Amino acid sequence: MLENKTRTELSSLGEFGLIRHLTSSIELKHTSSLKGVGDDAAVIDKGDGNVLLVSTDMLLEGVHFDLAYVPLKHLGYKAAAVNISDICAMNGTAKQMLVSFGASSRFSLEAIEELYEGIYLACRKYNVDVVGGDTSSSKTGLTISITVIGEAKKENVVYRSGAQEKDLLCVSGDLGSAYLGLLLLEREKQVFVAHPGAQPDLEGNDYILERQLKPDPRTDIIQLFAELGIKPTSMIDISDGLASEIMHLCTQSEKGCTIYDEKLPIDPSSSDKAHEFNLDPTTCMLNGGEDYELLFTIAMSDYEKIKNSLDISVIGHITDKASGVNLVTRDGTQHPITAQGWNAFK
């Protein structure tokens, strides 16, 4: 029973504290329920050596997106893509999708068609079938809820909890660009609010804007693992910021880790843009979020397999739990990592 007779603000728990509070008493009653709450997707045993991977995500106007600068087609694409990314984080392949939305009367049929055009574009690109969903009216703008179903061989599923001491901590792609794209869009929105006739100054920022408005799940990295014969020991996708996701892996695996500032990957143009915003590029990489890259650990014996990959960076290694979670800066100083990424209730 969840008993709480006094008022507790949700912001005092934060998103993940709330999830832990609401789900700590859940008991899985079916042997087919291999994994419930606590990973990028639930894992359901099909009984034939394969599993279903199920993940769901909800996006609310004014909380997760701002239609002042997010085109509906891009929003639809992103909503689908970020859910497919959760299946990638389990080392699986997305197959089906359920799409639900609630829309207020200010949205026309043509607007909803534009949203769905983006969803269908992502699904065609990643070979995912839209198989159902639900629709509703809304009094508070636009809400989108997507559930994605994927598949994997049972023995190939990767959880957040498998990291071992001395494993290498790796990340795909580069970090921080999506956050900088968001800052740019927010800046131009404020300029427009103050000067309604002003045109947005977005020239030369295609990369960071695409990273924010049209992220792509790293299905190619999952394919690369299969080609190289690598099974990561743990994995998560980077939605809430690198620091937050590192904390998740270490907490679930009951380990610590050390990462190195000089090893963190950022696109040179994004680093320049961070300085333009008077921000430390490392701060953007650690706390920005929405990169939808894969953060994973591999055994040291697999290093030879990935060392020549231009799209995978080794950023640190796993340590014992007592050593904590730490960042070593370029001057050799060690600092504890604290998660400062996205929190839905703050």
Q: What is the pLDDT of residues 248-306, one digit of tens each?
A: 999 999 999 999 999 999 999 999 999 999 999 999 999 999 999 999 999 999 999 99
Query: Do 315 and 194 belong together in one domain?
Result: yes
**Residue of higher predicted confidence among 114 and 38:** 114
The residues with which 144 forms a beta bridge, in sequence order, are 59, 101
Query: Do 288 and 331 belong together in one domain?
Result: yes
Query: Do 195 and 135 belong together in one domain?
Result: no
Query: Do 178 and 283 belong together in one domain?
Result: yes
Q: Which two tokens stand for residue 121?
A: 């574009």
Inform me whether the pLDDT recorded for 324 exceeds 90.
Answer: yes
Residue 280 lies in a domain: yes
Rounded Cα distance between 47 and 283, Å, is: 45
Average pLDDT of span 15-36: 74
Look at residues 156, 191, 223 and tell me which one is the last residue of a structural domain: 156
Query: Do 77 and 226 belong together in one domain?
Result: no
Rounded Cα distance between 181 and 194, Å, is: 20
Distances (CA, A) of 102 to 68, 141, 145, 215, 258: 18, 8, 9, 23, 43
Instruction: Give the list of residues 6+ apart from residue 82 with CB closer than 8 angstroms, or none.
Output: 57, 215, 217, 239, 292
Domain that holds residue 212: 168-336
Query: Do 173 and 251 belong together in one domain?
Result: yes
- pLDDT of 38: 81
Rounded Cα distance between 134 and 105, Å, is: 17
* Structural domains counted in the chain: 2
Query: Do 260 and 190 belong together in one domain?
Result: yes
For the chain, give the percent of residues with pLDDT over 70. 93
Residue 8 lies in a domain: no
Residue 16 lies in a domain: no
- pLDDT of 343: 52
What single letter denotes the amino acid at residue 179? Y
Q: How confident is the model at residue 188 (pLDDT cuts 50, 70, 90)?
A: very high
Average pLDDT of span 194-218: 93
Query: Do 186 and 290 belong together in one domain?
Result: yes
What's the CA angle centered on 75, arms 199 and 111, to 5 degrees? 80
What single letter denotes the amino acid at residue 214? K
Rounded Cα distance between 217 and 91, Å, is: 12
Sign of the torsion angle spanned by Cα atoms 293, 295, 298, 304: positive
Query: Do 147 and 263 belong together in one domain?
Result: no
Residue 221 lies in a domain: yes
Look at residues 112, 136, 156 and tell me which one is the last residue of a structural domain: 156
Query: Do 201 and 275 belong together in one domain?
Result: yes
Residue 18 lies in a domain: no
Rounded Cα distance between 201 and 199, Å, is: 6
Inform me whether the pLDDT recorded for 22 exceeds 90.
Answer: no
Q: What integer best gives the mean pLDDT of the chain?
A: 93
Reported as a single tens digit per residue, the pLDDT across 221-237 is: 999 999 999 999 999 99
Residue 23 lies in a domain: no
Reported as a single tens digit per residue, the pLDDT across 54-104 is: 999 999 999 999 999 999 999 999 999 999 999 999 999 999 999 999 999
Look at residues 105, 128, 156 and tell me which one is the last residue of a structural domain: 156
- pLDDT of 345: 44
Residue 53 lies in a domain: yes
Inform me whether the pLDDT recorded for 344 exceeds 60.
Answer: no
Residue 22 lies in a domain: no
Query: Do 106 and 185 belong together in one domain?
Result: no
Query: Do 313 and 187 belong together in one domain?
Result: yes
Q: What is the CATH number of the domain that holds 329?
A: 3.90.650.10
Rounded Cα distance between 143 and 102, Å, is: 5
